[in-house]
Amino acid sequence: MKRCALRAVNHGLAALVLAGLLGVPGLALADTAALPPTRQLEPNVLVPPGDLRYAPAAQPDRIIATPAADPAHGFQVAWRTSLAIEQPVLEIAVAGDSPDLGTPRRLAARSTRLEADTGAGYQHRVDVDGLAPDTLYAFRVQGANGWWSPWRQLRTAGVAGQPLEFLYFADTQNKNASHSTRAILEALRHAPRARLALFTGDQVSGGDGEDDSEWGEWFDAVDPVTATMLVAPVAGNHEYGKEFEDTPQERRVLGAHWPHVYALPDNGAPGAEATSYWFDMHDTRFVVLDGTSALDLGTAAAQAAWLDRVLSDDPPEWLVVAIHQPMFSPRQDRDNVLLREQVLPVLERHRVDLVLQGHDHVYGRRGGLVEGQGTPQYLVSVVGAKQYRLSPEARVTMEPVAEDTQLFQVVRIEDGVLSYEARTVTGRLYDAFSLTGTRAGGRHVVEQGDDRIEQRDCPRPATLKGRADRCWE
């Protein structure tokens, strides 16, 4: 025991010598605990420069199931392989308690080539139809050289009247492998019956949308979700790049990854067909808009007219609209006037229940324009590590609000009540309310105040880079 203790002391002294701490006048061993830790900004990705960790391979990866227009009877699957594959297929069977799944149904994939900085690969897509509602299916996808993915299980949407639980994640964007993973895993602890995960844009950071390692880390971070439920993505400004940059012809252009990595319903708005869509699940209609296209590519009026038609066409009882840029921005120095002019009146007229948004990297909630009317409820949230600061106006017009906080949201609709929870990355309850009543007769907001933690504000004057307009990088 004494020999072990002496060895430990010697190791400690050696560490201090290597650190250059011994020989400093007045510094005793006990003082080392008081030394300020060295804070270094984490890189956006964990992959070292030049490392091809996420190069396309024979093994299928980036497997993701997205909603069909009728997710009670089908869904769509996308995945990636190297170029070595020939005639890729998806196999699907009703899941049972035995490892014997019988003879699975085989569906041929459509493949497109995607050139990325990690190398060229194929993105594959299969539209699965003819399924039974509220039924658990097992499926797997084919890779090259004899590879198959593991079997995954996914339950189709139910019918009207069945309970629905879904997750809402705002910007994951940067440091996905380091930090977004925590929120994803904690969300699953609080939503074990979730059928859908909705991501409101900026899944990655890389402005041009073509940093393949960022996409690789995003898929790694969200794999627990994509392996068990449908995913509905929203395009953010970081899913776009710029064409003819720094010239009079500069304009936004959708990044190369978006149309390849997601297989989405073909029912979008004119001019934004690749990034807008809608689908019904249980008693809820979900509508996805593209705020970047609306603001920068001139499609705001067309999307608003399309949204009006979609919300007018015999909708179910609950309405949820998702868009990246907020109607009411809680961040300093942002104001999406065009969205309020074109899109906001449609949301208000149809009394949309939830408007789920991202972009501003803080948390904020506010009600609609009609006093005494419970809906719409406008939400802004953030998952990722980049954290901004609230505007003074947001502190007056929104409640609750938060800075410096990673969050996820759980929404449950059951027995005519919509329940909403926003929780921090450690699972603590930050915001909660319920919507009761009917859309025709009017919704009522019931605040759930028990167990909420206190308001969180940024505790530091600047980021590690010295930026006072942000709280964390």
Q: With 60 as the cut, is the pLDDT of residue 421 above it?
A: yes
Angle subtended by helix axes 181-190 and 212-226, to nearest 10 = 10
Amino acid identity of residue 98, one-letter, is: S
Residue 31 has what pLDDT? 47
Q: Locate all alpha helices (DSSP H) within 251-327, ordered by sequence.
A: 258-261, 291-296, 300-312
As given in the structure block, the two tokens for residue 95 are: 């899941």
pLDDT, tens digit, 9 for 90 and up, residues 141-166:
999 999 999 999 999 999 999 999 99
Task: Measure the CA–CA gap between 464 and 362, rounded to whole angstroms.
Answer: 18
Q: Which helix (H) or strand (E) holds 254?
A: strand 251-254
pLDDT of 14 > 60? The answer is no
Helix (H), strand (E), coil (C) string for 383-401: CCCCEECECHHHHHHCCCE
In angstroms and rounded to an integer, the radius of gyration of the C-alpha atoms of the chain is 24
pLDDT given for residue 33 in this prediction: 53
Residue 6 has pLDDT above 50, yes or no: no
Q: What share of the chain is helix, strand, coil (3-state, %, to 5)?
A: 20, 30, 50
CA 439 from chain centre, in angstroms, equals 28
E strands, 25-163, where? 61-67, 75-81, 89-94, 105-108, 110-116, 119-128, 136-141, 152-155
- Please tell me what DSSP assigns to residue 439: T
24 pLDDT above the threshold of 70: no
Residue 468, sorted as left (phi over 0), alpha (psi -120 to 50) or beta, turns out to be alpha
Q: What integer pLDDT is reported at residue 210 of this predicted model? A: 57
pLDDT in tens, 253-264: 999 999 999 999
Tracing tokens 């926003």 back to the chain, one arrives at: 422
Q: What are phi and psi of 113, to 5 degrees?
A: -85, 135
Assign 126 to helix, strand or coil. strand
Tokens of 189: 């602890």
CA distance 36 to 33: 8
Length in residues, the chain:
473
**Residue in 256, 292, 268 with CA at minimum distance from that of residue 118:** 256
Taking the model in full, what pTM does it have? 0.91
Q: Calculate the CA dihedral of residues 296, 299, 300, 301 and round it to 10 degrees.
A: 150
What stretches of 428-468 adopt beta strand conformation (E)? 429-438, 442-447
pLDDT of residue 322: 98
Burial zone of 212 (CB within 10 Å; 0-12 exposed, 13-18 middle, 19+ buried): buried
Mean pLDDT of the chain: 91
Going 287 to 290 to 294 to 297, the CA torsion angle's sign is: negative
- In this prediction, residue 248 carries a pLDDT of 76
What average pLDDT does range 9-30 have in this prediction? Answer: 39
Average pLDDT over residues 410-433: 98
What is the pLDDT confidence band of residue 37, given thresholds at 50, 70 and 90?
low
User: With 70 as the cut, is the pLDDT of residue 208 above it?
Assistant: no
Q: How far is CA 147 from the centre of its chain?
A: 29
Exposure on the CB side of residue 440, measured as CA atoms within 13 A: 5
Average pLDDT over residues 90-117: 97
**What average pLDDT score do residues 17-34 get?**
42
pLDDT on residue 243: 78
C-alpha closest to that of 284 among 410, 137, 416: 416
Residue 196, beta-bridge partner list: 166, 230
| Contact between residue 96 and residue 87 where contact means Cβ atoms under 8 Å apart | no
pLDDT attached to residue 36: 60
* pLDDT of 438 strictly over 60: yes
pLDDT per position as a tens digit, 334-375: 999 999 999 999 999 999 999 999 999 999 999 999 988 999
How far separated are the first and last CA of the chain, in Å rounded?
46
* pLDDT score for 295: 97
Nearest CA-CA partner of 109 in 80, 89, 93:
89
What percent of the chain has pLDDT above 90? 85
**CA atoms within a 13 Å half-sphere pointing along the CA-CB vector of 367:** 15
* pLDDT score at 15: 40
460 CB burial (10 A radius; 0-12, 13-18, 19+): exposed
Mean pLDDT of 61-86: 97
